[in-house]
Amino acid sequence: MILGLYNYWVVVVLMMIGFYIVIAHGNLIKKIVGLSIFQTAVFIFYISIAKVDDATAPILEEGISKYSNPLPHVLILTAIVVGIATVALGLALAVRLNEAYGSIEEESIQNQDNQEC
């Protein structure tokens, strides 16, 4: 039972690792990496729910009547594109932040802001 659902365990563990990095790390690049892991866990989750026991890839073929659900894969292709755009934008912002503040550490940026106010 528990072992049979092992990819869901992978999903949960990856998700928590990613989420923890986003929250706990002060480095802007690491935060983006964490976010990316977090999103990837969700992608694996979608792919896992598409699996049908004893079924093959959804290609029409003689003698096969059980197919896995192809829809989640298509959905995740879209979500991957969204994820890439997010990571690209986040990294671009990190580059600009580094130019403006001379640092990619959350604490240092926050300190510089607090002095200005």
Partner 1 sequence: MLTHLPALAVIIPLLSAPLCLFLRRPLLAWLFTVIASGLTMLVSITLLQQVMASGTIVYEMGGWRPPWGIEYRVDRLNAYLLLIVTSISTVVLLAANTSIEKEIPRHRLTLFYVLYLLSLAGLLGVVTTGDAFNVFVFLEISSLAAYSLIALGEDRRALWAAYQYLIMGTIGATFILIGIGLLYQMTGTLNMDDLSRRLPEVSQTRTVFAAFAFIIVGVCLKVALFPLHRWLPNAYAYAPSIVTAFLAATSTKVAVYLLIRFTFSIFGISFSFTTVPLQTIFVILGLTGIFAASTTAIFQKNVKHLFAYSSVAQIGYMIVGYSISTTMGLMATLLHLFNHALMKGALFLALGAVMYRIGSVRLEQFQGLGRQMPFTMAAIVAGGLSLIGVPLTVGFVSKWYLVLAALENGWWPVAVLILLGSLLAIVYVWRIVETAYFNEPPAGRESIEEAPLGFLVPVWMLVSANIYFGMDTRLSVQVAEAASQALFGVSP
- Residue 64 is a binding residue for partner 1 (CB under 8 A): no
User: What's the rounded Cα separation, in Å, for the pair 84 and 89?
Assistant: 8
Q: Which residues are CB-neighbours of 84 under 8 A, at least 6 positions away?
A: none
Residue 106 sits at the vertex; the CA angle it makes with 102 and 111, to the nearest 5 degrees, is 75
User: Which listed range, 51-59, 60-68, 108-116, lies at the site for partner 1 (CB under 8 A)?
Assistant: 108-116
Q: Which residue number, 23 or 62, has a Cβ lying nearer to partner 1?
A: 23
The number of residues that bind partner 1 (CB under 8 A) is: 30
Question: Cβ-count burial of 19 within 10 angstroms (0-12 exposed, 13-18 middle, 19+ buried)?
Answer: middle
Is 86 a binder of partner 1 (CB under 8 A)?
yes
Rule CB under 8 A: which residues touch partner 1?
A: 19, 22, 28, 31, 35, 38-39, 42, 45-46, 49, 72, 75, 78-79, 82, 85-86, 89-90, 93-94, 96-97, 100-101, 109, 113, 116-117
